[in-house]
Chain A
Amino acid sequence: MFKKKLTRREFLKYTGATGAALAASSALGPVARVFAKDKIKVPIGDPNYFKGMKLNYVQDTNWLHAPLFVSPHIEKEAGVSVGRDTVEYFKIGEGFSKIMPQLMSKKPKWDWIQFSPMFLGSFVSMGALEPLDPYLEKYAGTDEYLNQVMPAYREFYMKWDGKVYGVMLDGDIHLLHYRPSFFNDPELKKKFEKRFKKELKPPETWYDYRDTAQFFTEELKNKGIYGVEWVVNNPLFGWGFYYDMIASKGINYFDENMNPTIVNDDAVEALELFKEINQFAPPGHETMGIDETITYWQSGRVVMAVWWIDLTEFTAQAKPEIADDQASALVPGWKIGDKVVHRAMTLYNRIASIPKNIPQDRKEAAFYFIYRLSHQDYSTHYVADEYSGSDPFMKRHYETPEEYLNPDPLRGTSDLWPTNNGIFHKLSTAKNHLKAGYENVQVGYPQFNWSGAVEYAQSMSINFSKFISGQLTAKQALEKTADEWVKIVQKYGLESQKKQYANFVAGAKKLGYWK
């Protein structure tokens, strides 16, 4: 309360100062808010802050141990931790059924959950997740953190209806992987140039991809080497390998009124070209799944593959002899006008969220833990760690290739992480890996992430697979998928789906994916 009555001059002085401060705050944005007085400094630096709370959590079995080896560091910062005795696991594909009953219960047993953001819309629309904005507001530096996350992940996988519900733990993205030794072979180069009247190089368009795949398969098949491979038989992810092609044609899933937009000549052309290219894959290409594609790549008998970013990492670990004969580039695209448009699917990914129905003190502790786990201070190290299962998702991750060559400073060795030698052996390999990752994530295209995601994915996967195996034509496959999608929309309710899809539209518009 003011004891002294203000003079006009003083009033103007104070209001002017306040206005200036507000304007400065608005202009400086993140910077001003970081230095606001009531923000909690990060790291907290008080091992008793959360009173030794140990958090329960759930994660998929393919994600490895980042929470466990980062935990001692976070415990030192703020007295909150996780342990081997507080983690439960689920298999990819069963995440939704494992997590949802717990989220619906009044007392979920987990303080935080790791899941794929393809379920983000479902969980948020059920009112099962805690919005994280109020927590982000409490801590200093969170704006910088949010700005560090790559837009394709931040806009589609962390936010829902303008609010933040999850923090990134793993950034999945498709890349074009290739074996430079084949592209640099002078004889093959000469033959390719003679036959196709163009230079043999990592393909830029899907038609280049077909030509290159065909060339390598025809030239090298007698040595057991094939030009290309693709995941085509996976109910949850198979569709996404086709969608790399269709999305780069500028085709989204639905229009704003939830009418499928996938039945058109462009989509048919893309699907038919996919099948044509797939002919140049190894025997069994009609049914190739994730495991087979890894095995074939690591056997060194495939020249090119559109696959998740970590294919080269697995291979560097499992087959050191071909570790440095791998390189990556932008997923091919379509020539539209005088530009080539690329889209790379961001399939699966991992985020961490907090269930709504847990006590407030545990929410506070859980937020601090997952925020710090996702934060660049730690994630920069563990995305380059063979025992984390995470891939880059922040700008800084792409700027630190040396992390891939060195032991992870966050951990030593143990029975769960018996080695700590870095992933790659050459800085050039790591640099190429990150450059390609960065280029692709800048054109990263989101998977379904609203209610019904699994059904949409399975519908497209199965019809796509029927087309590949000759049971349907391209047009029939797309029409059947569109019909099924309409039924799914009706089942979940048109208005509800429109509202949820609006999140996708907003993100797509922001990133320039919406015509």
Chain B
Amino acid sequence: MSRKGEDILVKRYVPFLLVLPAFIVLFSVTIFPTIWSLYMSFHQYNPIIGKPVPVGWKNFNYILHWDRFQNSVVHLFYYLLFGVGIEMILGITVALLLYELIKSEKIRLLLLVLFIIPMMIPPSIVGTLWRFLLDPFSGVVNTILSMLHLPVVDWFGSKMALASLIIADIWEWTSLPLMIIYSGRVSLPQSVYEAAWVDGASQWTILRRITLPMLKELIAIALIIRFMDAYKFIDKVTVMTQGGPGGASELPSYLAYLVGAQQFNMGVASAMTWIIGLGSIIVIMLFVKFMKKVLKSQKIA
């Protein structure tokens, strides 16, 4: 074979060979299981009962009409609204305050490290920690409330269980948007701000017209990361409330885990994960669209 022919072969096949290992890994651990779960979602399959039996849309129909799943979706929206919402607001506020108010680099660094610590703790440990802190009988929080002569709270009762999960989650994950927004703020060009000061812009105007618009992509990224995490929110539920009492803190992913990994109803669990996955994609797309619209209407897009 001529040199030219060899070159053509190398150019044609070597790139494929180079990506082949990555493709095999990706196919085995992501693509194949996804296709398999789609296939399973149209079957009734419980290994104890027997082989998969095709059931069409029955699993989806069952899930969408299942009161427990419907409640878990309501809980998820509650969590997204209050949990992720507060994390974002707190994260942005603290990040900007940290940058604007703390002038010493060393203190800023120290505070950043302190803020990051909760995020570095495994979620199951965070759950255990908060389980102790919020313990209605002997937890620190209720002890303090008693000392202040305030009424104690049944933190894991049906009215507060989900809120307790949200509190623990805010404590752990506020630092994620904080870090992203802080790094974004650091990288913003100082010249823009100097120009604004020369023009006599107030701090509020600078925040509204310069800082937030320039950080909007980062805010969106932080929000989307937290949204995606919210759909996988299972560890703290397991440790803190086990979805209880009476399903009052069940979230869709935890329910899918119970149905799939404990009851082994693979068909129903697969259909549930598809509903959760598609639901999350739709919500995120709607959110991105909404955000663009809002920013445009405020003329800061």
Instruction: Tell me, yes or no, whether A binds B.
Output: yes
Is the C-beta of A384 less than 8 angstroms from some C-beta in chain B?
A: no
Tell me the smallest distance from the CB of B74 to a CB of chain A, in Å.
14
Q: Is the CB of B262 within 8 A of A97?
A: yes
Closest A residue to B261 by beta carbon equals: A97
**Partner among B48, B142, B241 whose Cβ is within 8 Å of the Cβ of A492:** B48
Known: A469-B158, A471-B158. A455 touches B263 (CB 8 A): yes
Is the C-beta of B246 less than 8 angstroms from some C-beta in chain A?
A: yes
Q: Find the residue from B46, B135, B242, B261 having the highest chain A CB count within 10 A.
A: B242
**Partner among A96, A125, A233, A467 whose Cβ is within 8 Å of the Cβ of B262:** A96
Give the residues from 253 to 295 in chain A that come closer than 8 angstroms, CB to CB, to chain B: 282-284, 286-287, 289, 291-292, 295
Is the C-beta of A465 less than 8 angstroms from some C-beta in chain B?
A: yes
Chain A residues whose C-beta falls within 8 Å of the C-beta of B158 in the assembled complex: 286, 469-471
Is the C-beta of A506 less than 8 angstroms from some C-beta in chain B?
A: no
Is the C-beta of A462 less than 8 angstroms from some C-beta in chain B?
A: yes
Q: Is the CB of B136 within 8 A of A492?
A: no
B230-271 vs A, CB cutoff 8 Å, 1 = contact: the mask equals: 000000000001111111100000000010011111000000
Give the residues from 215 to 241 in chain B that come closer than 8 angstroms, CB to CB, to chain A: 241
Q: Which of B89-97, B149-157, B281-289 forms contacts with chain A?
A: B149-157
Give the residues from 130 to 179 in chain B that come closer than 8 angstroms, CB to CB, to chain A: 131, 135-138, 142, 152, 154-158, 161
Chain A residues whose C-beta falls within 8 Å of the C-beta of B242 in the assembled complex: 233-235, 289
**A296 CA to B68 CA in the complex, in Å?**
31
Chain A residues whose C-beta falls within 8 Å of the C-beta of B21 in the assembled complex: none
Is the C-beta of B49 less than 8 angstroms from some C-beta in chain A?
A: yes
Q: Is the CB of A125 within 8 A of B261?
A: no
Is the C-beta of B47 less than 8 angstroms from some C-beta in chain A?
A: yes
Question: What total of A-B pairs shows CB separation below 8 Å?
Answer: 111
Q: Is the CB of B156 within 8 A of A126?
A: no
Chain A residues whose C-beta falls within 8 Å of the C-beta of B48 in the assembled complex: 100, 122, 125-126, 451-452, 492
Q: Find the residue from B131, B135, B241 having the highest chain A CB count within 10 A.
A: B135
Known: A235-B258, A492-B48. A468 touches B246 (CB 8 A): yes
**Partner among B49, B68, B263 whose Cβ is within 8 Å of the Cβ of A454:** B263
Q: Find the residue from B46, B137, B154, B258 having the highest chain A CB count within 10 A.
A: B137
Is the C-beta of A94 less than 8 angstroms from some C-beta in chain B?
A: yes
**Partner among A97, A232, A452 whose Cβ is within 8 Å of the Cβ of B245:** A232
Main secondary structure of the interface of B (DSSP, over half): loop
Q: Is the CB of B247 within 8 A of A466?
A: yes
Chain B residues whose C-beta falls within 8 Å of the C-beta of A233 in the assembled complex: 156, 241-242, 244-245
Q: Is the CB of A466 within 8 A of B261?
A: no
B28-70 vs A, CB cutoff 8 Å, 1 = contact: the mask equals: 0000000000000000101111000000000000000000100
Tell me the smallest distance from the CB of B125 to a CB of chain A, in Å.
14
Q: Is the CB of A283 within 8 A of B245?
A: no
- Give how many A residues have a beta carbon under 8 Å from the other chain's beta carbons: 46
**Partner among B47, B136, B243, B264 whose Cβ is within 8 Å of the Cβ of A235:** B243
**A292 CA to B131 CA in the complex, in Å?**
10
**A455 CA to B258 CA in the complex, in Å?**
9
A76-102 vs B, CB cutoff 8 Å, 1 = contact: the mask equals: 000000000000000001101100100
Q: Is the CB of B138 within 8 A of A295?
A: yes
Q: Is the CB of B49 within 8 A of A469?
A: no
Is the C-beta of A104 less than 8 angstroms from some C-beta in chain B?
A: yes
Q: Is the CB of B264 within 8 A of A466?
A: no
Give the residues from 478 to 515 in chain A that come closer than 8 angstroms, CB to CB, to chain B: 491-493, 496
Closest B residue to A93 by beta carbon equals: B262
Chain A residues whose C-beta falls within 8 Å of the C-beta of B155 in the assembled complex: 284
Q: Is the CB of B157 within 8 A of A286?
A: yes
**A287 CA to B162 CA in the complex, in Å?**
13
**A125 CA to B50 CA in the complex, in Å?**
10
Q: Is the CB of A458 within 8 A of B241?
A: no
Q: Is the CB of A462 within 8 A of B247?
A: yes
Is the C-beta of A299 less than 8 angstroms from some C-beta in chain B?
A: yes
Is the C-beta of A59 less than 8 angstroms from some C-beta in chain B?
A: no
Q: Is the CB of B47 within 8 A of A283?
A: no
Tell me the smallest distance from the CB of A416 to a CB of chain B, in Å.
23
Chain B residues whose C-beta falls within 8 Å of the C-beta of A452 in the assembled complex: 48
Q: Is the CB of B241 within 8 A of A287?
A: yes
Tell me the smallest distance from the CB of A6 to a CB of chain B, in Å.
57
Known: A299-B138, A471-B158. A287 touches B244 (CB 8 A): yes
Tell me the smallest distance from the CB of B153 to a CB of chain A, in Å.
9
Chain B residues whose C-beta falls within 8 Å of the C-beta of A440 in the assembled complex: none
Chain B residues whose C-beta falls within 8 Å of the C-beta of A470 in the assembled complex: 158
Chain A residues whose C-beta falls within 8 Å of the C-beta of B131 in the assembled complex: 291
**Partner among B44, B247, B261 whose Cβ is within 8 Å of the Cβ of A94:** B261
Is the C-beta of A463 less than 8 angstroms from some C-beta in chain B?
A: yes
Q: Name the 7 nearest CB pairs between A and B, nearest first.
A: A284-B136, A466-B246, A469-B158, A287-B156, A465-B246, A283-B136, A233-B244
Please name 4 further chain A to chain B contacts, defined as beta carbons within 8 Å, in addition to the given A233-B242, A492-B49, sorted by A numbering: A96-B264, A126-B47, A284-B154, A295-B135
Residue positions of A touching B, CB distance < 8 A: 93-94, 96-97, 100, 104, 122, 125-126, 232-236, 238, 282-284, 286-287, 289, 291-292, 295-296, 299, 301, 451-452, 454-455, 458, 462-463, 465-472, 491-493, 496
Residue positions of B touching A, CB distance < 8 A: 44, 46-49, 68, 131, 135-138, 142, 152, 154-158, 161, 241-248, 258, 261-265
